[in-house]
Amino acid sequence: MNPESVQQLCAGNPRAVARAISAVERGGAAARAVIAAIFRYTGRAHVIGVTGAPGTGKSTLVNEIAKQYRRRGQRVGIVAVDPTSPFSGGAILGDRLRMQDLSGDPGVFIRSMATRGSLGGLAAATSDAVQVLDAAGFEIVLVETVGAGQSEVEIAANAHTTIVVEAPGMGDDIQAIKAGILEIADLLIVNKADHDEVSATVAALEMNLNLKPQAENDWRPPVLKTIALTGAGVADAVEWIGKHRAYLEAHRLLELRERARFRAELEMVVQRELITRLLRGVNGTKIETLVEQIAARELDVYAAAEVLVGGIQNGANPIFAATD
Amino acid sequence: MADRPIRVLIAKPGLDGHDRGAKVVARALRDAGMEVIYTGIRQTPEMIAEAALQEDVDVVGLSILSGAHLDLFPRVVDLLRQKGLDDALLVCGGIIPDEDMPALRRMGFAGVFGPGTFTQDVAKFIREEVARKRGAAAQ
Ligand SMILES: Nc1nc2c(ncn2[C@@H]2O[C@H](COP(=O)(O)OP(=O)(O)OP(=O)(O)O)[C@@H](O)[C@H]2O)c(=O)[nH]1
Ligand SMILES: [Mg+2]
């Protein structure tokens, strides 16, 4: 990235921001160049993950939450992730449709992302896109993902504050419990509170929370009701986001969580790089030969893998020398 | 470096009340492997240009039924140019009389698709044009 683009990006120039996000989405050297240039300007944004079952009203809620922050004078970046079709590789990215109130506001930047190919790739791309928005001076960054599929859930859970959105009207069936995403919630929001059965859903969630052992200093997620269509209850939800932030600060959890996240990211990148570099050094015919040997039952898969990576341990690389 | 999927913005400017046709095209393009940002009906030229900018799309597709295309489309094109998006491929469709086609082409619309167009043809056109633009940009 040239210094001029970095400067434009940090000044919040939308074209520069948009192109940087495209680059990080592409991954590889393009992504590395962007992150290398902007990383030092990151670390200021409060990142809010919003996840939940399809159709619970996440995008409509994100629209309302963003409006609340705009009223407080804060700039808001939004990353909305929708699934790529496994059949065609294409996607329909429709979250923006619910965020039209925000258009025309230069203090808001919305970017739609498809999950694309690899799981690890998505986590890296969204995390990098969040960093771009952070460097561009968006004080609040909202990340919407569908709460189905592990990597999408992880992305939301990587935020400073994670909101799990539930909608009433499915009887006793709490989607968030089924999807196993209740555990990651800092705030639980029952949206579509204009429907019947809201109180049943709230009660079921409260009961679930009560089952969880609670230590003295633990954060207890509030169960909140909103009607995202009208904005009712959203100001209260934003107050709670603020309380959660204050809690994180009071317990030094921002630093701890950030370090945990960097450690996980570092491990992930190391794994990916090692595999890429290792396989680059191995010629294709060697792998083919091993596959043939496996098929002929001369070697099992573990033994064949050992042929490829066995040499590494004895190599001069200090990283390997340092482990066990 | 592998090419990214083609990103397309599909928008309906003006006051058209329904968007069945635009949705059919959006789905067809998804099935052709493209990422389609769908913003729905009643979009102002400003909203369309802003979305195209933020989403960094390769293609802006406008669909219109109301007959206001000669009024609205030039404003979209102007705004895109102002924002530095002059490299995006412009296509449009809907109810567009034959006699308006030359004017739209002069405006910069490379593809003008009237009623009865097959969605596969739209996808093929976009794929070929974007490949050509990307090829030229890589030179
Ligand atoms: N009645 C009612 N409808 C709502 C409310 N919030 C959202 N909706 C509607 O629910 C539908 C889905 O809303 P979205 O915001 O697109 O939901 P989502 O969770 O983002 O959906 P996906 O991204 O597809 O998973 C839309 O038709 C909304 O208008 C609400 O509070 N009450
Ligand atoms: Mg959504």
Judged by CB atoms closer than 8 Å, whether chains meet at A114 and B38 is answered as: no
Residue A320 has pLDDT above 60, yes or no: no
B108: which DSSP letter? T
More reliable by pLDDT, A112 or A84: A112
Q: For A97, which of B27, B40, B85 is closest by C-beta distance?
A: B40
A40-254, which class in CATH? alpha beta
Residue B40 has pLDDT above 90, yes or no: no
Judged by CB atoms closer than 8 Å, whether chains meet at B26 and A104 is answered as: no
Residue B108 has pLDDT above 60, yes or no: yes
Chain B residues with CB-CB distance to A30 below 8 A? 1
Judged by CB atoms closer than 8 Å, whether chains meet at B36 and A92 is answered as: yes
Residue B62 has pLDDT above 70, yes or no: yes
Residue A177 has pLDDT above 60, yes or no: yes
Q: Do the Cβ atoms of A41 and A10 come closer than 8 Å?
A: yes
Taking the centre of ligand 1 as the mean of its atom positions, its distance from the CA of residue A51, in whole angstroms, is: 13
Q: Residue A144 belongs to what H/E stretch?
A: strand A140-146
A60: which DSSP letter? H
Per DSSP, chain B holds a count of helices (H) and strands (E) of: 5, 5
Burial class (CB in 10 A: 0-12, 13-18, 19+), A74: middle
Taking the centre of ligand 1 as the mean of its atom positions, its distance from the CA of residue A60, in whole angstroms, is: 6
Which of A131, A138, A122, A126 is closest to A35 using CA atoms? A131
Taking the centre of ligand 1 as the mean of its atom positions, its distance from the CA of residue A56, in whole angstroms, is: 5
Q: Tell me the mean pLDDT in the region A263-291.
A: 84
Q: What does the domain layout of chain A look like in residue ranges?
A: 40-254, 266-320
Number of folded domains in chain B? 1
Q: Tell me the mean pLDDT in the region A90-97.
A: 95
Check which CATH number belongs to the domain holding B63 and give it: 3.40.50.280
Give the pLDDT confidence score for residue B2 in this predicted structure: 57
Q: State pTM to two decimals.
A: 0.91
pLDDT band at A316 (very low <50, low <70, confident <90, very high): very low
Residue A52 has pLDDT above 60, yes or no: yes
Q: Do the Cβ atoms of B1 and B134 come closer than 8 Å?
A: no
Chain B residues with CB-CB distance to A18 below 8 A? 53-56
Taking CA–CA distances from A24, the nearest residue in chain B reads: B4
Please report whether residue B43 resides in a domain: yes
pLDDT tens for residues B67-103?
A: 888 889 999 999 999 999 989 999 999 888 889 889 9
Judged by CB atoms closer than 8 Å, whether chains meet at A96 and B51 is answered as: yes
Nearest ligand 1 atom to the CA of A232 is 31
ipTM of this predicted structure: 0.94
Give the pLDDT confidence score for residue A147 in this predicted structure: 80
Residues, Cβ < 5 Å to ion ligand 2: A 58-59, 95
Give the pLDDT confidence score for residue A318 in this predicted structure: 40
Flag the least confident range among A5-9, A138-142, B3-7, B68-72: B68-72
Please report whether residue B66 resides in a domain: yes
Interface probe, candidates A95, A101, A112, A276, chain B, greatest B C-beta count within 10 A: A112
Judged by CB atoms closer than 8 Å, whether chains meet at B33 and A88 is answered as: yes
Give the pLDDT confidence score for residue B1 in this predicted structure: 43
- Domain around B82: 7-138
Please report whether residue B36 resides in a domain: yes
Transcribe A203-271 into DSSP letters. Answer: HHHHHHHHHS---TTPPPPPEEE-BTTTTBTHHHHHHHHHHHHHHHHHTTHHHHHHHHHHHHHHHHHHH
Please report whether residue B2 resides in a domain: no
Taking CA–CA distances from B12, the nearest residue in chain A reads: A97
CA distance A75 to A137: 7
Chain A residues with CB-CB distance to B37 below 8 A? 93, 96, 112
Residue A145 has pLDDT above 80, yes or no: yes
Interface probe, candidates A85, A92, A100, A108, chain B, greatest B C-beta count within 10 A: A92
Please report whether residue B1 resides in a domain: no
Taking CA–CA distances from A102, the nearest residue in chain B reads: B47
Interface probe, candidates B35, B57, B80, B119, chain A, greatest A C-beta count within 10 A: B35
Looking at the complex, report in whole angstroms how far the Cα of residue B61 sits from the nearest Cα belonging to chain A.
14
Please report whether residue B65 resides in a domain: yes
Kindly state if the Cβ of A225 falls inside 6 Å of ligand 1: no
Looking at the complex, report in whole angstroms how far the Cα of residue B67 sits from the nearest Cα belonging to chain A.
23
